[in-house]
Chains A and B, each alone.
Chain A
Amino acid sequence: SAVISQKPSRDICQRGTSLTIQCQVDSQVTMMFWYRQQPGQSLTLIATANQGSEATYESGFVIDKFPISRPNLTFSTLTVSNMSPEDSSIYLCSVGQGVETQYFGPGTRLLVL
């Protein structure tokens, strides 16, 4: 399985600011995914980031709020824009060739005050 790292591992931010989360993989992968894990809730897919094309967002998530970059086959960023306390969550990136073999990074723990 791929080795995935995320930066930062945690952060505390003020409302109205933005945070960019980085995801780095140790091998080239076609598909990268960004998930959110809110307290007491299921992991929820935010968007799929494909290299060379725009990200595909799930229902309830928009590009203005969660812009994503995918400059190459080993790296992606997710920005959480204009944050509010409701954005406090764990954000995870994952990679996989198919739905049955997705591997997750360690997550970024975000607290918005």
Chain B
Amino acid sequence: QKEVEQDPGPLSVPEGAIVSLNCTYSNSAFQYFMWYRQYSRKGPELLMYTYSSGNKEDGRFTAQVDKSSKYISLFIRDSQPSDSATYLCAMGYYGNNRLAFGKGNQVVVIP
């Protein structure tokens, strides 16, 4: 079983729709849960991180973590064409700087 599973299937949505992305994981030691955005031919950009279980909101972005189910989600409200990118989930824990990444979801927001 992979440490982090993220269905890499592309996702196309109309402008203004809610984008829903998720990852599952197997390592119960993970404490920090990150979402990165990667535009084509660019490096990953940290969007937000959550510590342990719960929700975190930053503008149009909401991250959710359910440690009991080993499941994390990212929601993008009122999606814009500029949100078109690949979104990567990543996880880690204190004292170990190695990030475990999902494969990424390519999101296309259609005007």
Residues of A within 8 A of B (CB): 1, 4, 31, 33, 40-45, 48, 58, 92, 94, 96, 98-107, 109
Contacts and interface: CB of A to CB of B under 8 A. Distances in A.
The bracket for how many chain B residues form the interface is 20 to 34
A107 B46 contact: no
Nearest to A99: B92
A41 B103 CA distance: 6
**Secondary structure class of chain B's binding surface, majority of residues:** strand
A99 B94 contact: yes
Given A40-B103, A43-B101, A45-B99, A99 B93 contact: yes
A100 B44 contact: no
Contacts of B103: 40-42
Interface of B: 4, 8, 32, 34, 36, 41-46, 49, 51, 88, 90, 92-94, 96-104
A99 B29 CA distance: 13
B45 A104 contact: yes
A48 B95 CA distance: 13
